[in-house]
Each structure stands twice: as structure tokens, then as C-alpha cells.
Amino acid sequence: MSNNENAFTLLELIIALSIGAALILVVSLSLKMGFSHMERGNIRLDENQRQKSAVLFFNQQVSSMNNMLIGEEEEVVFQGGPDKILFVTPVSLEKRYGLGLMAVLYYLERDDQGIMLVYKEKRFIPEENIDKFRDESDSMFDNSESVIFFEGCDEVAFEFLNVPESGNEDVTEGIIDDDWTDSWQENSLPKAVKLTVSKNGQNREIIAPVMAMY
């Protein structure tokens, strides 16, 4: 009788340990999944915050782009296409103001994850850099550090607004699709720049007016 009671108690102990181990495993998996969701949520939050900052910065730079005055002549430092834009602005990513004029380049790159919008900048001294800009503009940025603004996109494209001068301060009011062009060959600055970003089935248009500072 004593042996039977001991055997029954040992069986109960084994069952209890098995149940306890199963509960611990379930709790561990639940915690791991919870931390994984939190981590993914933080990544999405960081990405959204980075994209908001990138949009704000892009607007600031485009709105403050400059024409150059070389001696008494005005020089337009601007190149625009569907996959690239280059211009001069006093707004720097390294330091918003205080570095003088900056030549900035936005361009597209592609990888296995999709399309990236990449940014580079370089200090611009008109008398020293204008000839190089005319001849080999992209080579100015060979030694510049690149910064990824958007990545994993389905589509990224630039367009440029070409409308006559008007007294309306809001140059984007009342415009139509035909007013936009995907390349800019004029010897002048566009009235606005539109950046279209498509990602995860969502399209976003950023329209930045050009104030043409001197």
C-alpha cells in the first residue's frame, strides 16, 4: 500500500512539472512575441518620424534655393529631372544655417528592397565652383557623405512647376496637371518642386514653392 501511494505521488509530481513547464513555455513565447511587436512598432515610429523630418527639410531647402550673382550677371544653378534635382541653398543638413551656400543633390538609387531617395551636400563657393557645376555637376559630390531620406519605395519622382508670374503669393493655387513637367531645361528656377513618393500602396505628394532668393 505504501509503495502504491509513493508511485501515485511521483506520477502527480511529474504531471505537475509537465504542466508547469508548458505554462512557462507559453508565457515565454507570449513575452517574446510582445517584445517583437513593440520593437517593430518602435521601428515604424522611428521611420515615420524620420520621414516627417525629411519632408520638412526638403521643403525648407527648396523654398530657400538661390540664384547666383556672379559679378553683375545672374547665374542659374539648377538641374532637374524625374530622378534627380540639384540646386543651391543656404540650408544645410549638417547645420541648418551658418555654413554659407550649399550645393545639394537629391537622386534615386535602387536595391532589392525598392527605390531610395538619397541626399548629398557640399559647400558652394560661386567663384570657385560655378565652372565645375556647368561641366561636371555630379562630380562635385564624389567625396560627400550620402544620407538616405526614403527607402523601400515603389516609386519616387520629381516634377517642376512652370507657370507665368502672378501676383498670387500661393503659386500652387489653381494649377493643373499640364503645368507640371518632369524635366527642367529652362534658364531659370521653377515656381515649385513636387516630390511624389509611393510606398506600400500609398502615394504622397510634397509640393514646395520656390522663393528664388539671391
pLDDT in tens, 60-87: 899 988 776 555 566 777 889 999 999 9
Cα distances from 163 to residues 38, 156, 189, in angstroms, run 48, 23, 11
The pLDDT, as a whole number, for residue 161 is 92
Most confident segment among 8-17, 37-46, 57-66, 95-104 = 57-66
pTM: predicted TM-score of the whole model, two decimal places: 0.70
Q: What is the pLDDT of residue 200?
A: 86
**123-150 residue pLDDT tens:** 887 766 666 666 656 777 888 889 999 9
Asked whether 160 and 181 are in contact (CB, 8 A), the reply is yes
* Residue tagged 517574446 (cell numbers): 32
In the predicted model, is pLDDT for residue 153 greater than 50?
Answer: yes
For the chain, the average pLDDT equals: 76
**Mean pLDDT for the stretch of residues 20-39:** 58
CA gap 85, 106 in Å, rounded? 5
Higher pLDDT, 74 or 183: 183
Other CB atoms within a 10 A radius of the CB of residue 92 amount to 19
* Per-residue pLDDT, 131: 65
Q: Is the pLDDT of residue 43 over 50?
A: no
